[in-house]
């Protein structure tokens, strides 16, 4: 068989199975953890619309890009997972360099004095992140993060932190992928931190993770080429930085974007997704279920206001999610 | 048919065709424009080694990452395509703003005074790039670049500039992809400029293009979310910037990397690829064929020296390529 025939065979086979896979009407419910309601209906209607070839609204597979915030959208952000990692690392560092304790930010982090960080703001948090996330090679950092995820537990649920992901959102990721979407994380979190676990917990490979990134310094270390993580910030992938990060990494406008209510961090990304020339859907997760998860809101209500103004779909956890996690609480 | 059966069917079909596709011994020569010789043999031996499951040297599909420089590696760099575009744009700008002619760099660019740029160096080139590549939205820039590629011709060959790509390298891209590789461009060129044409000419989608990038400013333009290209450089994706760009965009070490001799721009990328824990192959294109293409070398010979020191495969165009382009010269 020559290459031409082979390519045709491959293309035909993929087309057949792809066509079969993209006929959700004949398949079981792809979103079993979602309650029936306007939000679930909006998701299913959108996916059916963009995947029906020949009908208006069809979007070619190559342009079916979906971006998801991570903290509070894909996994639980109480506590902020990367902050747990930073404090974990900080304890190790302080054992080796006790003089670090004299830094007010370090002392505050080690005693859990969150009021200090709320008062001092981002530069204090950045100080902790730089101390704990830089000065090593990318490879060494990846090992530290991978090790952390193997044992670090959620203080409320008792499961591993990496298990405290939202089951309905994992179903949504799979449903979109089954319909030809390429799924990305687009988060304010550290890009290398999330990549250590994104494939395992979300089925998202490292090259589809967009996050805040530091400047990397290429060096020769004992004859081996390595990249050193420096304490200089290259991109801050939150708020207005998210559309810029999407363009840098993807070069296309996503037709689907999901974020959550907490700091207004996803308003720009959802607005950017809506600028697509194609039909698009924006999803905003609203944490209103203090019994089953955590209830929190924005002081200024900016995200919910934007959702109302622009017609974004809101996920009210209490009403929209039948189950929140895979584990039994 | 339920989703479980369907997934199984998809997986089986893909496995069958993938297995068939990854048995080059039974297929026609995947690299017909390459002369038989040590370089072609090294490529085929490498691909066979990393794709044989169960044998030492096997690399899982997810980690089969290949990165290619663009100018002089995938397309002809005489003339530098992006410079032709910049001068084209400059003429339009000067028509609208004649006072721009008073800038020495603009005057030099318009009169083809390349000696000026060689003397003044990167900042003079940057001045021209910033003038012609910024101040518009990403969408508008994409349209300008797409329009340019539709008509701009190669001064020596008379074909469209986008047609002056190396046929053997396009065969190599296809061969690697047929064997489960994900192919990326990693070039010093502007990321958005290359993305305008990468899918069409190389089969490489925009999200697999890594290049020099400017800071993007998210704005609301008449009620629509847009990204404005600013004259501030975010990443300079050449030399030691290439491994950093690869980590930023991919998060994995490529097991295959290809560059070319001219400025030493690919030495760091090839060295980085060689740091992989897997078997890896590095390819360096040496432009030694002044009759059929252009002959040029580095003053210090650094790239060829590095190739010799580290055992990288060298493509001598005169000997290794049966054909250079698809068009008849």
Count of the separate structural domains present in chain B: 2
10 Å CB burial of residue B198 (0-12, 13-18, 19+) is buried
Asked if A212 and A244 touch (Cβ cutoff 8 Å), the reply is: no
Residue A15, domain member (yes or no): no
* Residue of A16, A227, A250 lying closest to B247 (CB–CB): A227
Asked if A149 and A162 touch (Cβ cutoff 8 Å), the reply is: yes
- Tell me how far apart the alpha carbons of residues B88 and A80 are, in angstroms, rounded to a whole number: 50
- Chain centroid, CA B270 distance in Å: 14
* Contact map slice: B 81-110 vs A, CB within 8 A: none
Q: Same domain, yes or no, for B73 and B108? A: no
Residue B4, domain member (yes or no): no
Percent of chain A, pLDDT > 90?
84
Residue B168, domain member (yes or no): yes
Contacts A146 to B, Cβ<8 Å: none
Residue A182, domain member (yes or no): yes
Q: A-B interface: how many C-beta pairs under 8 angstroms?
A: 139
Residue B19, domain member (yes or no): no
**Span A258-285, mean pLDDT?**
97
The tens digit of pLDDT for each residue in B234-254 reads 999 999 999 999 999 999 999
| Whether the predicted pLDDT of B218 surpasses 90 | yes
Q: Same domain, yes or no, for B112 and B195? A: no
Q: Same domain, yes or no, for A118 and A50? A: no
Contacts A272 to B, Cβ<8 Å: 218, 225, 227
Q: For position B249, which CATH number holds?
A: 3.40.50.1000
Helix B38-51 × helix B167-178 angle, to 10°? 20
Q: Same domain, yes or no, for A210 and A285? A: yes
Range of the domain at A114: 81-151
Contacts B250 to A, Cβ<8 Å: 206-207
The per-residue pLDDT for B52 is: 97
Q: Same domain, yes or no, for A182 and A305? A: yes
| A27: nearest CA partner in chain B | B2
The per-residue pLDDT for A1 is: 41
- CA distance to partner chain A, nearest, from residue B42 (Å): 21
The tens digit of pLDDT for each residue in A10-38 reads 455 555 445 444 554 456 999 999 999 99
Strand order in the sheet with B313-316: B224-235, B209-221, B182-190, B65-68, B256-260, B281-286, B313-316
Tell whether A5 is within 8 A of chain B (Cβ): no
Q: Same domain, yes or no, for B196 and B271? A: yes
Q: Same domain, yes or no, for A115 and A40? A: no
Q: Where are the alpha helices (DSSP H) in chain A?
A: 3-21, 38-51, 81-96, 104-110, 114-120, 122-133, 138-151, 167-178, 191-195, 198-202, 241-249, 267-274, 302-310, 317-320
| B245: nearest CA partner in chain A | A216
Contacts A26 to B, Cβ<8 Å: 1
Asked if A261 and A304 touch (Cβ cutoff 8 Å), the reply is: yes
- DSSP code of residue A75: B
What confidence tier does A117 reach under pLDDT thresholds 50, 70, 90? confident
Tell whether B30 is within 8 A of chain A (Cβ): yes
The per-residue pLDDT for B6 is: 47
Q: What are phi and psi of A153, to 5 degrees?
A: -110, 155
| Whether the predicted pLDDT of B118 surpasses 60 | yes
The per-residue pLDDT for A48 is: 98
| B271: nearest CA partner in chain A | A225
Residue A326, domain member (yes or no): no
Three-state DSSP class for A254?
A: coil
* C-beta atoms of A199 and B227 within 8 A: no
Q: Same domain, yes or no, for A57 and A129? A: no
What confidence tier does A119 reach under pLDDT thresholds 50, 70, 90? confident
* C-beta atoms of A27 and B6 within 8 A: yes
Contacts B247 to A, Cβ<8 Å: 138, 216, 227
* C-beta atoms of A251 and B209 within 8 A: yes
**Span A38-58, mean pLDDT?**
97
| B241: nearest CA partner in chain A | A218
User: Which of A32, A275, A306 should we substitute to test contact with B (largest number of B Cβ atoms within 10 Å)?
Assistant: A275
- DSSP code of residue B99: G
Contacts B205 to A, Cβ<8 Å: 62
* C-beta atoms of A218 and B26 within 8 A: no
Contacts of B237 (CB under 8 A, 6+ apart): B186, B187, B188, B189, B191, B210, B211, B212, B213, B245
DSSP letter string over B255-317? Answer: SEEEEESSSSTTHHHHHHHHT-SS--EEEEEE-B-TTTS-B---SS-HHHHHHHHHT-EEEEH
Q: Same domain, yes or no, for B269 and B181? A: yes
Higher pLDDT, A137 or B118: A137
- CA distance to partner chain A, nearest, from residue B292 (Å): 28
Q: Same domain, yes or no, for B168 and B259? A: yes
The per-residue pLDDT for B119 is: 86
The tens digit of pLDDT for each residue in A59-88 reads 999 999 999 999 999 999 999 999 999 999
| Whether the predicted pLDDT of A112 surpasses 50 | yes
Residue A218, domain member (yes or no): yes
The per-residue pLDDT for B116 is: 92
The per-residue pLDDT for B4 is: 47
DSSP letter string over B47-81? Answer: HHHHH-TTSTT---GGG-EEEE--BTTTB--SS-H
Contacts B9 to A, Cβ<8 Å: 17, 20
The per-residue pLDDT for B3 is: 47
Tell whether A136 is within 8 A of chain B (Cβ): no
* Residue finishing a domain among A151, A180, A201: A151
* Residue finishing a domain among B93, B108, B136: B136
Asked if B59 and B255 touch (Cβ cutoff 8 Å), the reply is: yes
Residue A20, domain member (yes or no): no
DSSP letter string over A12-55? Answer: HHHHHHHHHHT-GGGSPPS-TTBPSSHHHHHHHHHHHHHH-TTS
In 10 A of CB A47, how many CB atoms? 24
Tell whether B22 is within 8 A of chain A (Cβ): no
10 Å CB burial of residue A51 (0-12, 13-18, 19+) is buried
- CA distance to partner chain B, nearest, from residue A100 (Å): 30
* Residue finishing a domain among A126, A151, A176: A151
| B195: nearest CA partner in chain A | A251
Contacts B237 to A, Cβ<8 Å: none
* Residue of A14, A207, A240 lying closest to B249 (CB–CB): A207
Tell whether B3 is within 8 A of chain A (Cβ): yes
The per-residue pLDDT for B200 is: 98
Contacts B1 to A, Cβ<8 Å: 20, 26-27
| B240: nearest CA partner in chain A | A218
In 10 A of CB B147, how many CB atoms? 12
Contacts B225 to A, Cβ<8 Å: 243, 268, 271-272, 274-275
* C-beta atoms of B199 and A62 within 8 A: yes
User: Which of B2, B10, B186, B276 should we substitute to test contact with A (largest number of A Cβ atoms within 10 Å)?
Assistant: B10
Three-state DSSP class for A197?
A: coil
- Tell me how far apart the alpha carbons of residues B6 and A318 are, in angstroms, rounded to a whole number: 33
Q: Same domain, yes or no, for B55 and B193? A: yes
The per-residue pLDDT for B14 is: 52
Tell whether A252 is within 8 A of chain B (Cβ): yes
Q: Same domain, yes or no, for B70 and B95? A: no
């Amino acid at each position: 068989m020559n290459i031409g025939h082979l390519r045709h065979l491959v293309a035909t086979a993929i087309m057949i199975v792809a066509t079969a896979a993209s006929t959700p009407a004949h398949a079981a419910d792809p979103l079993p953890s979602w309650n029936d309601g306007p939000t679930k209906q909006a998701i299913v209607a959108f996916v059916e619309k963009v995947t029906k070839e020949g009908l208006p609204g069809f979007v070619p597979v190559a342009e079916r890009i979906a971006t998801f915030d991570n903290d509070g959208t894909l996994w639980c952000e109480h506590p902020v997972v990367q902050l747990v990692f930073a404090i974990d690392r900080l304890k190790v560092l302080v054992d080796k360099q006790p003089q670090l304790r004299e830094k007010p930010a370090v002392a505050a982090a080690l005693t859990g004095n969150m009021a200090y960080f709320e008062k001092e703001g981002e530069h204090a948090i950045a100080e902790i992140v730089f101390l704990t996330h830089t000065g090593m090679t990318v490879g060494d950092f990846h090992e530290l993060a991978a090790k952390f995820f193997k044992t670090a537990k959620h203080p409320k649920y008792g499961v591993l932190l990496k298990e405290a992901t939202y089951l309905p959102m994992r179903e949504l990721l799979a449903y979109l992928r089954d319909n030809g979407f390429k799924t990305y994380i687009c988060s304010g979190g550290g890009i290398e931190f999330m990549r250590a676990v994104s494939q395992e917990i979300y089925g998202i490979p490292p090259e589809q993770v967009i996050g805040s990134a530091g400047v990397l310094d290429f060096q020769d270390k004992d004859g081996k080429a390595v990249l050193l993580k420096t304490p200089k910030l290259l991109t801050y992938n939150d708020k207005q930085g998210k559309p810029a990060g999407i363009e840098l990494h993807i070069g296309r406008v996503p037709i689907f974007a999901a974020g959550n209510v907490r700091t207004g961090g996803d308003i720009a990304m959802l607005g950017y997704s809506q600028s697509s020339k194609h039909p698009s859907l924006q999803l905003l997760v609203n944490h209103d279920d203090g019994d089953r998860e955590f209830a929190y809101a924005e002081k200024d209500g900016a995200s919910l206001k934007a959702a109302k103004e622009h017609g974004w779909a809101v996920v009210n956890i209490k009403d929209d999610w039948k189950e929140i996690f895979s584990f039994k609480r």
